[in-house]
Chain A
């Protein structure tokens, strides 16, 4: 299985809502990532988990809260978002061993709209 799955595909939420994005992979990858992508722009890294521990937080606002419950799952909890947070949220995974040349496998993304 070489697939990264993300749910939901689309999410519309108000600024006072709490919601979660989910990501799953069964490739045995121990590094998992959250990216934010605005239209016609490259992905921007948000968080990196390595062996279920948060290793990189790119100064992301606290209204975004990541969680890695186990080696296959990655969540992104959303609370009190702003309209400018509307974007495509991408999850990715890669092998942790062997160095930094391992490619990342991306999920299809969750299209988030904040009203």
Chain B
């Protein structure tokens, strides 16, 4: 079975400060990992993914994530937060040997204050 944990329901950060949204995962083998963002009353928007290779993955809108196999983590980061980054963020995992279905974390609401 595969699972994802996002330990923080909400993260608050001031505009211009760095942000981190945490994600840890559990799979039986090597994972494929994804981050999605959801704005109010909208569908999910793909940000970035880890497949293999470089542990630091760069994605859309200045976001990046670091894959850490020993800590089974895939934290989302951005050096300088914008008010427009305020949204709901979902981490998701898929076992390479598993089904097509993604397993999503519970979501973290990011609030960036001006």
Residues of A within 8 A of B (CB): 4, 6, 31, 40-43, 45, 48, 50, 55-56, 58, 88, 90, 92, 99-101, 103-109, 111
Say whether, besides A41-B107, A100-B96, A101-B51, A106 and B32 are in contact (CB < 8 Å): no
* B90 engages A31 (CB within 8 Å): no
* B96 engages A105 (CB within 8 Å): no
Residues of B within 8 A of A (CB): 32, 34, 36, 41-46, 49, 51, 88, 90, 94, 96, 98-102, 104-107, 109
* A105 engages B42 (CB within 8 Å): no
* Min C-beta distance of B86 to chain A, whole Å: 15
Q: A6-B43, A90-B43, A101-B94 are in contact. List 19 more A-B contacts (CB 8 A).
A: A31-B100, A40-B107, A42-B105, A42-B106, A43-B44, A45-B102, A48-B100, A56-B99, A56-B100, A56-B101, A58-B101, A100-B32, A100-B94, A100-B98, A101-B49, A104-B44, A108-B41, A108-B42, A111-B41
